Amino acid sequence: MDVQVPVVRPRRLRTTPAVRRLVAETRLHPAELILPLFVREGITQPVPIGAMPGVVQHTRDTLRKAAVQAAEAGVGGLMLFGIPEVQDAIGSEGTNPDGILQQAIRDVVAEVGDQLVVMSDLCLDEYTDHGHCGVLAADGTVDNDATLVRYAEMAVVQAEAGVHMVGPSGMMDGQIAVVRDALDAAGFQDTAVLAYTAKYASAFFGPFREAVGSSLRGDRKSYQQDPANAREALRELELDLAEGADLVMVKPAMAYLDILRQVADVSPVPVVAYQVSGEYSMVEAAAANGWIDRERTIMETLTSIRRAGANQVLTYWAVEAAAMLRG
């Protein structure tokens, strides 16, 4: 049978590794990867996180070593999460100047602070016994404005510990303005704010709960966004920009690439995506079963997140991906 011979042949640009390399639109670089790290108070050995094979809760000592390893790999930043020994209703350890996160910030800044950007999670869920990202009102709901007071205090103790960038992740209304104002009032004009701008009430955060030893009563649907909605992400973006966000984030990443694209299309500041715990665990689980090619999948997910518009990506694979990129 005679078929019409194509005149246009897109395959020409896919024929060899050299031409594919030449025309690749999206490139990954270790400098735009950010590694989340967990540090736990009162342990003498790192504790593996069952739901996140390969990720551990660090001691202060192993955290320092992990930070050095990340810096040597060329990773651009670290996001630190603290796990205190004691949790209470208001998350007191989050504002203790000698709390685990503040100690870890000092350690890591001293060790690698001149080589990469040190960031810290600014949220109460690691510190509260009820597991919510804020303090509770008498009726058990999360009290937005009372929480803002706690965030302002947290921002200052983290900045005093020397962190370069704080990451308010609690999705309270007005949190960026309050954090910016508190930092400025305390003389930390140069401490940047990475706003968790569009953060969804997501099942993909599941493994993170084990990672930070948080047992959540109820859910976060009254403050994190509904996965059904896109418009409110743009509203949150407008607010965070007006309130002084230096960078904005979309989280999770892979199930929200459309949100990432919409935010990236209009954001005048860098757009960060967080490839969260559940995204990590899914790939690790499938790879452990031999169902997918682990390394290819890792690089494909990161490439897709960058292609959708992220400038920087938080990923638990940051060090390994950086090594793969250097080939």
Q: Segment near ligand PBG (CB under 6 A), from 10-18, 117-125, 145-153, 156-164?
A: 117-125
The rounded distance, in Å, linking the Cα atoms of 104 and 63 is 8
Phi, psi dihedral angles at 232 (to 5 degrees): -70, -20
Supply 203's token pair.
Answer: 């099942």
Near ligand PBG by CB under 6 A: residue from 158, 169, 267, 281: 169
Residues whose CB falls within 8 Å of the CB of residue 263, separated by 6 or more in sequence, listed in order: 197, 198, 233, 234, 237, 248, 250, 271, 309
Residue 21 CB, nearest approach to ligand PBG (Å): 32
For position 208 contacting ligand PBG by CB under 6 A, the verdict is yes
The rounded distance, in Å, linking the Cα atoms of 52 and 34 is 17
The catalytic position among 251, 271, 277, 281 is 251
The rounded distance, in Å, linking the Cα atoms of 144 and 149 is 9
Nearer to ligand PBG, 277 or 312 (CB): 277
Check if 65 is active-site. Answer: no
For position 205 contacting ligand PBG by CB under 6 A, the verdict is yes
Judged by CB under 6 A, the number of residues near ligand PBG is 10
Near ligand PBG by CB under 6 A: residue from 32, 41, 93, 125: 125
Residues in 259-318 at the binding interface with ligand PBG, rule: CB under 6 A: 276-277
Check if 199 is active-site. Answer: yes
The rounded distance, in Å, linking the Cα atoms of 156 and 2 is 75
The catalytic position among 40, 180, 199, 306 is 199
List, in sequence order, the alpha helices (H) in the chain: 17-23, 60-73, 100-112, 144-161, 175-185, 206-211, 231-242, 257-266, 277-288, 294-307, 318-326
Residue 167 CB, nearest approach to ligand PBG (Å): 8
Residue 12 CB, nearest approach to ligand PBG (Å): 41
Nearer to ligand PBG, 12 or 136 (CB): 136
Nearer to ligand PBG, 267 or 275 (CB): 275
Angle at 274 between CA 269 and CA 280, to 5 degrees: 160
Residue 318 CB, nearest approach to ligand PBG (Å): 12
For position 123 contacting ligand PBG by CB under 6 A, the verdict is yes
For position 158 contacting ligand PBG by CB under 6 A, the verdict is no
CB neighbour class for 29 (10 Å; exposed up to 12, middle 13-18, buried from 19): exposed
Nearest to 194 by CA among 144, 261, 119: 119
Nearer to ligand PBG, 93 or 121 (CB): 121
With tokens 């209304």, the residue in question is 173
Strand, helix or coil for residue 58: strand
Residues in 210-239 at the binding interface with ligand PBG, rule: CB under 6 A: 220
Which residues would be at the binding site for ligand PBG (CB under 6 A)? 121, 123, 125, 133, 169, 205, 208, 220, 276-277
Return the active site residues.
Answer: 199, 251
